């Protein structure tokens, strides 16, 4: 095979992530590489930490990006907090709750599952019932924004209930961070992880995490060593800790961290509240268009994530063929269903830099065109006016 420089096609990314990356972030990525112990880099790390604390709304000193994708951020939370034989309650309402169960078990813990319908928020009453039966559980894990369904749960209330039952909390904020409120300190989340490639609109490959003092106390008082050397917070903090003196742990992904710094700076410039409002307004516009076309959301209105819109694929429509045509004819990526929802839904992301009026116009226009051409029986000519009414409001 003759291999040449790879020149990727230029796509519009409206799937479940990665999302469109801001040009400033791509530019930051390509700046000259410097050493991971260079004083200039240490200064950048301090700024990055401060920007992350703002994004997560926390004062936690232990706030930093894991040098690997979101699933490694998830694993960082579990390997540090779960000890062998610990009982962990996992609230599942989609694919990622299942991954949490895997993590608990691989740490030698036992997972008690609180099963919720996919596409719905986590039912606090179910958690309460489970906590009554399993009074010896010491951790409750939950997904704030289920990327597989587009449902969000009331993390503040769930955490409060967990604390009342003497449990620490681990929260997945991969898809929520930057798109909808994530208030780590106000909600008293003990450990949280996110991803760079969703509403932060950075390239994939980094996973911001934050641990509060309660969580760190459990890490410090572990009987068993953390099973992962790479993810052991006791070691990682020697590098990401405060002060000028940093101990080498692993070689940090220098350029990826430049990019995250820039992405978080863009978020800070816009302001969190403005970013949340933008995500909501664009969601409402997209929704108007999709519903006018006749497509149905799978999540009820109160639980919907503005940044991830899961809609049912119309009966008789070839899922893969539609996504292929969107990609090939319009360079537009939307997401397929995942897990139990594979083949049943499309997931349309409006995340970070991808949450823009021009993207919504493209998405609705392309969907209307392709579905109409394929005889899917959608209503023509009504989506655009419905959507524009919201955008102009």
Q: Quick check: 261 binds a copy of itself (CB under 8 A)?
A: yes
Q: Quick check: 85 binds a copy of itself (CB under 8 A)?
A: no
Q: Quick check: 250 binds a copy of itself (CB under 8 A)?
A: yes
Report the DSSP beta bridge partners of residue 332. Answer: 12
Give me the residue label for tokens 């769930």: 158
Q: Quick check: 332 binds a copy of itself (CB under 8 A)?
A: no
Pick from 159, 154, 149: which is nearest to 120 by CA? 149
Chain residues 298-317 in contact with a copy of itself, contact rule CB under 8 A: none
Query: Which CB sits closer to a copy of itself, 165 or 227?
Result: 227
Query: Which CB sits closer to a copy of itself, 171 or 266?
Result: 266
291, 334 Cβ separation under 8 angstroms: no
Q: Quick check: 330 binds a copy of itself (CB under 8 A)?
A: no
Q: Quick check: 35 binds a copy of itself (CB under 8 A)?
A: yes
Q: Which two tokens stand for residue 363?
A: 């998405």
- Write the binding mask 36 to 65 for a copy of itself: x where contact by CB under 8 A, - elsewhere: x-xxxx--x-xx--xx--------------
Q: Which of 146, 190, 303, 333 binds a copy of itself (CB under 8 A)?
A: 333
Task: Let me know if 388 is exposed, middle or buried by CB neighbors in 10 A (0-12, 13-18, 19+).
Answer: middle
Q: Quick check: 27 binds a copy of itself (CB under 8 A)?
A: yes
Packed helices 357-373 and 272-293: angle between N→C axes, nearest 10 degrees: 20
Give me the residue label for tokens 């699933």: 71
CB of residue 106 to a copy of itself, shortest distance in Å: 5
The terminus-to-terminus CA distance of the chain in angstroms comes to: 54
Q: Which of 8, 243, 316, 375 binds a copy of itself (CB under 8 A)?
A: 8
Q: Which residues contact 379 (CB under 8 A, 6 or more apart)?
A: 292, 293, 294
**CA–CA gap between residue 256 and residue 240 (Å, rounded):** 15
Q: Which of 253, 294, 365, 372 binds a copy of itself (CB under 8 A)?
A: 253
Q: Quick check: 344 binds a copy of itself (CB under 8 A)?
A: no
Query: Which CB sits closer to a copy of itself, 106 or 300?
Result: 106
Q: Which of 179, 195, 306, 352 binds a copy of itself (CB under 8 A)?
A: 195
Chain residues 99-118 in contact with a copy of itself, contact rule CB under 8 A: 99, 102-103, 105-107
362 Cα distance to chain centroid: 24
142, 112 Cβ separation under 8 angstroms: no
Does a cis peptide bond (omega within 30 degrees of 0) precede residue 366? Answer: no
Q: Quick check: 318 binds a copy of itself (CB under 8 A)?
A: no
Query: Which CB sits closer to a copy of itself, 130 or 207?
Result: 207
The β-bridge relationship of strands 207-211 and 62-66 is antiparallel
Q: Quick check: 258 binds a copy of itself (CB under 8 A)?
A: yes
CB of residue 154 to a copy of itself, shortest distance in Å: 26
């Amino acid at each position: 095979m003759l291999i040449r420089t790879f020149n990727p096609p230029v796509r519009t990314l409206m799937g479940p992530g990665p999302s469109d990356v801001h040009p400033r972030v791509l530019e930051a990525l390509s700046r000259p590489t410097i050493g991971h112990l260079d004083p200039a880099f240490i200064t950048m790390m301090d700024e990055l930490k401060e920007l992350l604390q703002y994004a997560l709304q926390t004062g936690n000193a232990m706030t930093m990006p894991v040098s690997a994708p979101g699933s490694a951020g998830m694993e960082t939370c579990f390997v540090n907090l779960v000890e062998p034989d610990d009982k962990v309650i996992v609230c599942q309402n989609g694919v990622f709750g299942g991954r949490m169960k895997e993590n608990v078990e691989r740490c030698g813990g036992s997972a008690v599952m609180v099963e919720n319908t996919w596409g719905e928020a986590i039912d606090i009453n179910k958690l309460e019932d489970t906590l009554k039966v399993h009074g010896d559980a010491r951790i409750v894990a939950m997904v704030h924004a289920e990327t597989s369904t587009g449902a969000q749960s009331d993390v503040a209330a769930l955490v409060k209930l967990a604390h009342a039952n003497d449990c620490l909390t681990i929260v997945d904020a991969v898809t929520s961070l930057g798109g909808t409120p994530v208030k780590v300190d106000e909600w008293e989340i003990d450990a949280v992880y996110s991803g760079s490639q969703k509403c932060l609109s950075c390239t994939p490959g980094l996973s911001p995490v934050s641990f509060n003092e309660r969580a760190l106390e459990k890490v410090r008082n572990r009987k068993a060593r953390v099973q992962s050397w790479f993810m052991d917070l006791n070691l990682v903090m020697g590098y990401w800790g405060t002060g000028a003196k940093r101990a080498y742990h692993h070689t940090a992904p220098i350029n990826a961290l430049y990019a995250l710094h820039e992405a978080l700076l863009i978020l800070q410039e816009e302001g969190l509240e403005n970013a949340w409002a933008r995500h909501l307004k664009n969601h409402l516009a997209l929704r108007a268009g999709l519903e006018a076309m006749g497509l149905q959301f799978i999540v009820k209105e109160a639980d919907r994530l503005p940044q991830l819109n899961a809609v049912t694929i119309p009966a008789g429509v070839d899922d893969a063929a539609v996504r292929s045509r969107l990609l090939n004819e319009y360079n537009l990526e939307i997401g397929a269903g995942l897990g139990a929802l594979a083949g049943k839904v499309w997931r349309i992301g409006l995340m970070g830099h991808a949450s823009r009026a021009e993207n919504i116009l493209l998405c609705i226009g392309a969907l209307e065109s392709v579905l109409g051409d394929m005889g899917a029986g959608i209503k023509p000519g009504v989506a655009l006016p419905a959507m524009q009414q919201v955008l102009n409001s």
